[in-house]
Every structure is written in C-alpha cells, then in structure tokens.
Structure 1
C-alpha cells in the first residue's frame, strides 16, 4: 500500500488507506515515529505538535498562580496553620483522583473540549452542554482574576500606575502568547513552569532557615511550629471549611492536561507521564508550600493578602520580616510570572473548550475554525475579550474582595467539572463492561480504579454543599443576599445551562450505556491492537492487511 501525505492540515502525519473501506488507516508521526491508527471522529483543525515535554511541564506548572502564592494568605487568616494545610491535603487527594480519571479517558479520547465530549457521551448531552459552558465561564473568570492579581502583586513595588493601565499591559502579554503558534505557547509555558518549579525549592529551603531563626532579623529564637501550637485553627471547623474555596481555586487548572492532549503527537506516552507527575506538584508546591507559610508567618499578620494591611503574599512577608529584601523582590517577580502564566493558559483552555463545544453543535460553528498554525481565532478572541471585560468591570473594587468573589465562583465551577469528569469515567468503565469489552484492551489503565473515581465524585458533591453553607452563613460576616449571590451564583447558572441543554437535545435523563459508540472519537494505537490480536476487530484487521 502506498502511503500519502495528508496535506497541509497535518503535514507531519502519513496516512495509509486500506483496501477495506471500513478499516481504520494507520498513521505515523513523521517527527517522533510513533504509530497509531486513525482516531475516527476526533479530527479537528488543531495541530498535534505538542510533545510529552510540553504536556508534562504544563501539567506541573499550569495551575500555579495566585491561588497558592496570594490566596494562601487569606486561607491562613481564615483557617489557621492546621486549617490551610489540611485544606490543601484534601484538595490534593481530590485532584489526584480526578487526574487519574482524566488520564484513562484522555489517552483513549484525546478530544478538544474533552470534558464536554466525555460528559455528553457517557452521561447526557445536556450535562455536556452545562459542563462546557461552565468551564468556559470558569476560564474567562480566571483570566479576569489573574489580571486583578497582577495589580495586587505590583503594588508591592509601586502604586503610581493606575490599575487599568497595568491590566492593559498584562492583557497584551496574554494575547501575544496565545496568538503565537501552538509550539510558541508550549515553549513559553515550559519555561514558565520550569522557573516556578525550580523556585519552590528556593522557597522551601529559605523558609526552613527563616523558621529555624537563621534570617538576618529574628526574635532571638526559632519560630518552628509556634503558630501551630498557639492557634492551629483560627476560626474552628468553620474556618477550615472556609479555606476550601481558595484551596480548590489554587488547584483549578490542574486538569488542563486533558485539553492539551488533543494537540499532542502521542497521548499514550504524554498523558500517563503528566498524570504520574502530579504527585510531585501536589507534594512540592501545595503541601510543602502551604507548610512553609505556616512556619514563617503569623495568621494574625495584618499585611497578609486578605488582611487589613498591604495585602502582600505570605511568602513575600516572610522574607520581608526576616530581613531578606532581595528574596522578597524575587518572590514577588515569580508571583507576577505565575499570575500571567495562569492567565495565558486559561485563554488557551477557554478557546479549546469553545472549539470543542462548536464541534458538538453547542456553540457557533465558526468556533471550529483554526488557521494553518492551529490557532482557533474564532474561539480565542471572544474568550480573551470577555475575560478582559470582567477584569475591567472591577477596577474600582478592592483586590481581596474581587478575589473572594471570583475564587468562590471558580471553586463551584471547578467542583462541578471535577465531579462530572469522575462520573464520566465511572460510566465509561460501566459502558466498557456492558458491551463485553476487556479491561486489558484499554490503551492505558489507572491503578486507582474504582476507588479514585468514586472518591473524587463523592467529595465534589459534598464540597458543593459546603460552599452553599458558606454562602448562606459566611465566615465573619452577617448573612446577606449580596455575598450569597456573589459566592454561589455559579450553581444556579449551571442548572440553567442544564435546563437549556435539556430543551435543546430532548434526551433521557442518562444515556443508554449499551448503545454508546465506544469507538467514535477514539484514538487507536497500533501497538495495542497488534498485541490484542482479537479476531474480527476492525482495527486489527486493518493492521494485518497493512503488513501483508
């Protein structure tokens, strides 16, 4: 059989036609040499040119932004040392479980707007509609929040420049990264993630030294676990619950590997490595990072972000109080880089989500279009524009107030998305079993099944209830309608989206798993079907005919 190049859309892929029209044609990546079978129903105008290195680094650093570097200050005030640490432990277990569910599905179904298509395929198209638009709103809110955070970070250096001017400057940076080729975006995120990942080791070592009394300025004895011993919880159990929105917001975006998988050359190699590395980020960034805050900064420090003072990062305050201004300035610069990087990848993810919605008929069809460099202009421009507009609506508001509102909204959207991902995984496995397929035929299997998926789903449901409780009875504030709707309006919005989806699609409550087409949108990998040797399997017969 004579191979032929598929044309300008994917010049790096060679496709071979089979004599049997039903057979899946084999494809070979001309750069990596990876061989896989054609993924029926998964073709888009995106370019699959991101590598395992890109996906791994994006998974490691994409979510490291203001949630950790700034939000940990407000969490320390609300929950105390023990409260913030336990909050990150619980959130860490959740995203670890969600990531394993993503890994198993993203290898088999590496689709644009993956979460939407998985939810629509295995749960209900109406829920897929709600997930897709909820995630899109989540990404544009994150863009706005990161632009707001950049202003808070810059106030450490100067207050002479108007907030609106800084927003324009950093928005231009976010736009510039997103309008470049996909490989440019990938390389920039690799660099940013490398810097953030490297810096956390500086933070850990230096904070341990400061806590041990090794800084130029100390009180004559080590800090150690002084704050843990004196006030482990500043507001009791309710204070612990109150840190959860910020902890979840800090980890929101960790699931972006599922979206980026659609633009990787070989998801079977890239996705498991990205999923396997998540424990490094969880342990190093969030658990160690939050622990360093608790052993260096008092929860009653007025200048903490969320307090009554300058609203600086707790890490910056730790260096300032220890008399190390150089590290304080470097820390602030890293925070600024992190904030802009998170805003950039939110623009990327939001555009791909809108594109995936269009392929499902849930958004304007123009969103499906991408240029020859793989840039989805029609989806990218509205995403960035709405995010910028939301940021500008709040230039006159206090930064910590806006952060509280946006982080609560993002937390609700994130919990909904995580829960639907886990439920999609549960139902995908059930459909696989009902249709008589073997677990061994999955291209990649998570060892956490079924406990990880069920833990993630149940915990998300419980925490959505916790967020409702905090919206009705907020910490330290008299219950009022304004704070309730500012914190919880995302949940009614999700329900409205679901109802709209039901009206549009008129589907049953849940899809019939016995009738789900498990091969539509699936990526077939040559090495898997060759090993399976299953008689009558279309993909295997295609592979055998190729080697005749």
Structure 2
C-alpha cells in the first residue's frame, strides 16, 4: 500500500477529478485517474435521485412509529415540522460551502478550515462513529422488518446484508451510486402510492369503511402522549428521521458538476417529510398494537397498507421498507468511509486509511467502518427493538451535533468572505433569504433542541462530554508530538499549505480558533469541467424547447 499521491487541502481529502461525465471517462485521451485519490464517479442522475429520496429512510419508515407511540400526533407534528425547517435551513447553509469547495469530508472539513482544527477533529470522529453506528442500526432494523413475516433467525439475513453492502462499496463509487439510484427509485414510486392510499384510508376506504379524519387526535391519551417528556423525546426520533440528509454534502467530493447539482440536493427536504407525517398521524392511532415496544417496531407505512384491506399489499410495502433499510445502510457505510478517509488525509487518523484502490475506493477505511456493524448481532441478547432504540438515540443526537456544526462553520465561512472583501456575486450558490440570520438561527435552534430533549433522558447528553474529550485530546496530542519551530499561531498557519502543519505556541490554550482574515478563500474552489458546462447547455436548450414548461416543472420538482 502506498501513500496518497495527491496533496490534501487544509483539513480534508483532495479529489483527483479529471473526469466529469461518462463521455469524458470513456475518452482514451482524457487524463487517467490515479491511485490514492477519490474519483468523481457520481452522475447527476444518481445524485438527484439520492437527494429526492434522502428523507425516505429507516428513520421515516420505522422511527415515525416510535415517535407516534411515545409522543402522540400533536407532539409528532410539531417536532417534525420544527426539526424539518431547521434541517432545511441547515442544508442551504451547507449547500453554499459544498458548492464553493466540493471536497471529501464536507461539513467536517469546513469546521476545521473556518472554525477550529480541534473542533473539526472531534466532530469528524463523532460523525464517523455516527455513520458506523448507523450501519449497525440499519442491520438491526432489517431484523425488525423481517418480524412481519415471522422469519426465524433474522440475524442470518443481517449477516448476508452486511457482506453485500461491503462488497458493493468495495467495487467503485459508481457501484454505490447505481445501487442507491435504483433503491431510491423504488422508494419514490412506493411513496407516491402510499400518499394516495393514505388519503383513501383517511377518507373511509379502509376495512371498517369509516371516515377517520382527525379522530385519532381525540382518542384517550392523545393528542399529547407522555407529557413534556414524550414531547421532548420525539425531537430525537425526528432528528433520526431527518438524519443522513446532511451527509449528502460528503458526496460533493465525488459528484459531477457540484456547482449545479449540490444546490439541487438541498431543496424540498422539509415539505416531503411533512406530507408523510401528516398522513401517518391521521391514519394510525398512537396506541396501535406493537407500534413500538421493547421487542418489536412496526412501520406505520405497512399498517396503512394493511388498513387498506390487502395483506399482499402490506407485504409489498414491508419489502419496500426492507429495501429502504438496505439503502440507508449503504449510504451510512459510504459516508462513514469518506469521513475516515478525510481524517487520514488531514493527518487526524493513521495514513493507512487514506490509501485507495485504483478504482478510488478507500478500502482500509471501508473495512474499519463496516466492522462496527457487528453491533447488530447484539440484538440476539437484548432484543432487536430495544437495541434499535438505543442506536437510534445515539444517531439522532449525533445528527443534531452535525447540524449545529454546519451552522458554526457557515457563520465563520460567511464572516471570512465578508472580512476579506470578496463580493457575494463570486459565490457559486447563495441562499439569499437566509442572510444574515441563517447560521445564528441554526446554532440557537439546534442547541435548544439538544438541551430540551435531555428532559426525557440524561443519556441524550452522553455525546457532549465525548466531543469535549476528543477536542482536548487533539490539542494535547498536537502539542506533545510536534516540536516548536516558530511562534506562528494556528490562525496564521491556516493560510499555509495544510492546517496539519500549524505550529502551536508554547503556552497552553483551550482554543485554537481560526482567524477568518487569514483563511485562503481561493484554495480548492471548484472549477467547472467541459462536461459540466455541456450539461448546463443541455438544460438551457430543454427549457427553450416546445415542451420547455414540462422540463421546467420536472426540474422544479426533482432537480
């Protein structure tokens, strides 16, 4: 194994990206991909479909049932709406940075570059752990889904699924992208059917032939279940349901034409999820048998198909839920691998994990990340439902820390842009209506959620001291291992070739905040390749054609 051949940017991995489309990749005269770097192998078609289905995952299919059982319909609607809007603004902020600097590591890299290397170190390791645990959570969720058919020894399926996902991700980024494309297509088609059936069930086309309306809001215990504790708990499950959307920014390093495609990724997250939630809380009562308990969790989506009167349809829906679990595990494994690769590129993890195959796959990082999925087999001892609930809580809080960090990174990124006098017109994508309040809103709102949800369980605070420990660990290790060569501060060194070359002062300090006036805002900016410009021309030509209004509607909805 050889060390990476490309030079990392100040924080996270560099991308060897000579190609930006199938036509260029097939061109024998095009520059070849080299070993030791990621490849831009995700097409616009794949990224757009992944983005459309980004909020349709394990958290939505299974987590909504747990939310409804623990908090009731009112708590669920309020929490999912609040968290959804926060996530929408957060993704817009991430889109600004990911479009300008489409690098591996995404928001972890931006936190390192614009805020604090020590905080970026702690955040990256926390988010890597989040993705690794997410794989275990999804494999455990697969066993819960299989309970619908009373399949014995479901852990065997989890083992086979683990091997399958590992194999797909070990091939090439295009293999990951293609699997996600078809699984996302299946989810989209099913969701369309679910919306139609959900409306029909609600208006009376169900086994009892009765109009449901808002009846489930007035049954005993509703609309708020479990008091304020239940309400606070739903914030975590809502965060789990929206979780993973922020990791789409990690794909920026391997996305074709990120200047055009990344802004599309961050659109329409909020209203898609809210439609599903409204249908669920109206059609499914909070006290439905086995909706959520220590031994099992039933998907509200499957329940609605069953209420429609077709056991076969319910089985089909359960199959789709299973495919969603596979998709979520596939994405978590991909994202976790890239985060660990980025850490190694920044010298914040052993250099072994920065090694890639000729196909651009960080194989050592993939193997370590996938190894944590062994947690799923603990379900044989504590019960799949209980284990999945534990893992869901860990992932939910970790998602919130990620959103908070995006807000902090965006605040410092915008401050650097204004401090150094760069015109806003040079930004490749700008969410105008979020200026200047966007970052402050995300920081305050997510901090409030993290504090409020602790009302239901102190265990939700467990990741905060872990983050603090990792932060202090990085400060201690850097000062202990690197000799003092000059009185440069971290802020001054941030404008040099790599943040890992920063020389720390002799005096101990609990902070290593980056001075935004010294950040190089031109390094690692995306430059459009010929194929990127060709794609924009094709889009413009379609909009000018006879059926331009059809293309305009399609682009508005899905692109």
**Shorter-chain TM-score tier:** 0.7 to 0.9
Structure 1 segment 322-471 matched on structure 2, within 5 A: 322-386=308-372, 388-447=373-432, 448-471=434-457
SS of the residue corresponding to residue 143 of structure 2 reads helix
**What does 1:97-496 correspond to in 2, within 5 Å?**
97-160=89-152, 162-215=153-206, 217-218=207-208, 220-230=209-219, 231-276=222-267, 279=268, 281-284=269-272, 286-306=273-293, 311-386=297-372, 388-447=373-432, 448-472=434-458, 484=459, 487-496=460-469
How far has the Cα of 1:122 moved from its partner?
0.7
Which SS does the other structure have where 1:352 is aligned? helix
Shift of 1:124: 0.5
Look up the SS of the partner of 1:375 in the other structure: coil
Task: Describe the shift of the 1:192–1:110 C-alpha distance in structure 2 as closer, same or farther (beyond 3 A).
Answer: same
User: Displacement of 1:174 after TM fit?
Assistant: 1.3
Instruction: Say how many residue pairs are matched.
Output: 475
Equivalent of 2:522, from 497, 519, 522? 519
* Residue 297 to residue 29, structure 1, CA distance change in 2 (3 Å): closer
3-state DSSP class of the match of 2:454? helix
Gaps of 5+ in 2: 7-16, 26-34, 480-489, 491-510, 531-559
Q: Relative to 1, partners in 2 of residues 1:30 and 1:176: Cα closer, same or farther, differing over 3 Å?
A: closer
Q: Contact 1:108 / 1:524 at 8 angstroms: preserved in 2?
A: no
Q: Which whole-Å deviations, capped at 9, do the CAs of 1:149-179 have from their partners, x for residues lacking one?
A: 000100111232x133122111122112212
The offset of 1:65, in angstroms, is 2.1
Q: In the superposition, relative to structure 1, how do residues 396 and 324 fare at CA in structure 2: closer, same or farther (>3 Å)?
A: same
Deviation at 1:244, TM superposition (A): 0.8
For residues 134 and 266 of structure 1, the distance between their equivalents in structure 2, rounded to whole angstroms, comes to 29
Change (3 A) 1:116 1:27: same
Q: Which of 39, 47, 56 does residue 47 from structure 1 map onto?
A: 39
SS at match of 2:266: helix
Mapped contact 2:197–2:304 kept (Cα < 8 A): no
Alpha-carbon deviation of 1:458? Answer: 1.2
Q: Which 4+ residue blocks in structure 1 deviate beyond 3 angstroms? A: 26-34, 505-509, 524-527
What is the aligned partner in structure 1 of residue 29 from structure 2? none
Aligned-pair CA distance for 1:306? 3.0
Question: In the superposition, relative to structure 1, how do residues 119 and 32 fare at CA in structure 2: closer, same or farther (>3 Å)?
Answer: farther
Q: Residue 122 and residue 153 in structure 1: after superposition, are their counterparts in 2 closer, same or farther (change >3 A)?
A: same
* Deviation readout 1:209-235 (Å, 9 max, x if unpaired): 1121112x11x5211110124422122
Q: How far does the alpha carbon of each residue in 1:261-286 deviate from its partner, in whole angstroms, 9 at most, with x for none?
A: 1012221011112123xx1x4322x2
Paired residues of 1:48 and 1:263 also in contact (CA < 8 A): yes
Secondary structure of the residue aligned to 2:409 is: helix
- Equivalent position SS for 2:456: helix
Distance in structure 1 (CA, Å) of the matches to 2:154 and 2:465: 32
In the alignment, what sits opposite 1:498?
471
1:510 paired residue among 505, 509, 513: 513
Distance 1:241 1:32, change over 3 A: farther
Secondary structure of the 1:511 match is: coil
CA distance in 1, matches of 2:453, 2:88: 21
- Paired residues of 1:75 and 1:246 also in contact (CA < 8 A): yes
Alpha-carbon separation, structure 2, partners of 1:129 and 1:394: 31
Conserved 8 A contact 1:72-1:246: yes
In 2, Cα distance between the equivalents of 1:189 and 1:526?
25
Considering only aligned residues, what root-mean-square deviation do their CA atoms show, in Å? Answer: 2.3
CA deviation after TM superposition for structure 1 residue 307, in Å: 7.0
The answer on whether the counterparts of 1:116 and 1:357 sit within 8 Å (CA) in structure 2 is no
